[in-house]
């Protein structure tokens, strides 16, 4: 709410409160990338498990490993650039808060002309700080889009590997049903198939939920970043940020700031919910790590079955040869 014809005392109070607000804003922009880093780490832990699984089952392990390193380097670089951009933004906010203190002193001294100039400097510095902070938002968008792309690639590859493995297990179970070690092999294959189907459903659910939370945050961050970059808060047409003389991006920016529930809902979806889903998805990671060992057991069982069949065939051939030799001797 904009006061009409405020007194000098009210102007002094407004300037002091404006200085405190800007200082808290500077602290927020410095600490905000840390929250983003924690969320990204939670998502990357899930992605790492999927990547490790696809890496162990792929014929192009070198390419997958190189792609993973490039992706991690890009994410780290974007997060570092975003953090230092917000540090630079905080410096401009600190300068704006100093001008707000000067304006408060000028209002208290009845120096209205100097106070108005200082308040315009506050808006100019704050506008520059906001524009600089948009760099971090675009870096955040880059990280989120890279994460979405990585989840799509690794998720699809993992799904194909699971489908292929389950089909192989089904075929192997049918082939081993008539062998001497059918009971042991069938039990092993049945257990592996059950774990594989359960883990496949869990991975699919985790993938869809994490993907959705990243998508929600990406949409909000793109809108916020564009508003930060293109606002004209320093426009001296009116001290009211909601005045019609400000451009549409300023109205979007201050609507976001003055409607905190919009940002908080997207943050709740993208942060705590994503971390809970990631924690739930990570609980099945040990099964992924044990799958290569189960594959070795299955290969050993299949090798044993093949050896048994070969031995039976040799025994049958020897028996047939002995029978033919005995028949010849009798004649």
Residue 121, in any domain of the structure = yes
Residue with tokens 């092999």: 185
φ/ψ of 226, rounded to 5, equals -65, -40
> Which carries the bigger pLDDT value, residue 89 or residue 291?
89
**DSSP states of 68-117 as a string?**
HHHHHHHHHHHHHHHHHHHHHHHHHHHHHHHHHHHHHHHHHTT-HHHHHH
Burial profile 30-40: b = 16 or more Cβ within 10 angstroms, e = fewer:
bebbeebbebb
Sign of the four-CA dihedral 67, 73, 77, 80: positive
Residue with tokens 């070795």: 296
> If you average pLDDT over residues 103-125, what whole number do you get?
88
pLDDT for res 92:
92
Q: Is 63 helix (H, G, I), strand (E, B) or coil?
A: helix
With residues binned 3-state (H G I as helix, E B as strand, rest as coil), the percentages for the chain, rounded to 5, are: 90, 0, 10
What range does the domain containing 17 cover?
8-309
Are residues 216 and 266 in contact, defined by beta-carbon separation less than 8 angstroms?
A: yes
pLDDT for res 331:
45
Segment 203-225, tens digit of pLDDT: 777 777 777 777 888 888 888 88
> If you average pLDDT over residues 40-44, what whole number do you get?
78
Residue 196, in any domain of the structure = yes
Q: Specify the range with the lowest mean pLDDT, choosing from 130-134, 139-143, 324-328.
A: 324-328
Residue 330, in any domain of the structure = no
Report the 10 Å Cβ neighbour count for 248. 11
Q: From residue 31, how far is each of 36, 38, 129, 250, 269 by CA, in Å? A: 9, 12, 15, 24, 20
> Which carries the bigger pLDDT value, residue 257 or residue 194?
257
Residue partners of 226: CB distance under 8 A and separation at least 6: 134, 249, 252
Determine if the pTM surpasses 0.75.
no
pLDDT for res 314:
62
Q: What is the DSSP letter of 181?
A: T
pLDDT for res 140:
87
pLDDT classification of 201: cutoffs 50, 70, 90:
confident
Residue 49, in any domain of the structure = yes
**DSSP states of 206-267 as a string?**
HHHHHHHHHHHHHHHHHHHHHHHHH--TT-TT-S-TTSTTS-HHHHHHHHHHH-HHHHHHHH
Percent of the chain with pLDDT over 90: 6
Residue 242, in any domain of the structure = yes
Residue 329, in any domain of the structure = no
pLDDT for res 270:
72
Q: Specify the range with the lowest mean pLDDT, choosing from 133-137, 297-301, 325-329.
A: 325-329
32 pLDDT above the threshold of 50: yes
pLDDT for res 284:
55
Rg (CA), the chain: 33
pLDDT for res 87:
92
Q: Tell me the CB-side half-sphere exposure of residue 33, using CA atoms within 13 A.
A: 28
pLDDT for res 88:
92
Residue 241, in any domain of the structure = yes
Number of domains in the chain: 1
Q: Is 177 helix (H, G, I), strand (E, B) or coil?
A: coil
pLDDT for res 243:
79
Q: From residue 305, how far is each of 50, 177, 300 by CA, in Å? A: 32, 10, 9
> If you average pLDDT over residues 176-196, what whole number do you get?
58
Residue 320, in any domain of the structure = no
> If you average pLDDT over residues 89-98, what whole number do you get?
91
């Amino acid at each position: 709410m904009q006061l009409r014809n405020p007194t000098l005392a009210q102007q002094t109070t407004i300037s002091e409160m404006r200085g405190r607000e800007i200082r808290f804003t500077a602290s927020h922009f410095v600490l905000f990338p840390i929250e983003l880093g924690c969320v990204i780490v939670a998502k990357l832990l899930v992605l790492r498990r999927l990547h490790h699984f696809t890496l162990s089952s792929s014929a192009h392990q070198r390419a997958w490993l190189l792609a993973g390193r490039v992706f991690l380097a890009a994410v780290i670089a974007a997060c570092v650039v975003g953090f230092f951009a917000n540090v630079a933004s905080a410096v401009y906010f600190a300068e704006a808060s100093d001008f707000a203190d000067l304006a408060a002193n000028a209002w208290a001294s009845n120096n209205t002309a100097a106070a108005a100039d200082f308040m315009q400097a506050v808006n100019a510095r704050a506008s520059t700080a906001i524009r600089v902070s948009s760099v971090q938002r675009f870096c955040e968008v880059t990280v989120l889009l890279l994460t979405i792309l990585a989840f799509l690639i690794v998720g699809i590859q993992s799904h194909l590997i699971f489908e292929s493995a389950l089909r192989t297990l089904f075929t192997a179970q049918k082939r081993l049903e008539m062998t001497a070690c059918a009971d042991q092999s069938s039990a092993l294959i049945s257990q592996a198939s059950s774990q594989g189907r359960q883990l496949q459903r869990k991975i699919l659910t985790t993938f869809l939920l994490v993907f959705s939370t990243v998508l929600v945050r990406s949409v909000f961050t793109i809108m916020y970043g564009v508003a930060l970059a293109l606002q004209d808060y320093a426009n001296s047409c009116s001290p009211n940020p909601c005045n019609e003389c400000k451009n549409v991006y300023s109205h979007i920016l201050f609507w976001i700031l003055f409607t905190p529930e919009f940002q908080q809902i997207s943050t709740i979806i993208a942060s705590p919910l994503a971390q809970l889903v990631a924690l739930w998805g990570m609980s099945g990671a040990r099964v992924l790590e044990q799958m290569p060992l189960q594959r070795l057991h299955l290969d050993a069982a299949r090798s044993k079955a093949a050896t048994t069949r070969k031995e039976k065939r040799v025994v049958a051939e020897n028996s047939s040869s002995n029978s033919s030799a005995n028949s010849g001797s009798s004649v």
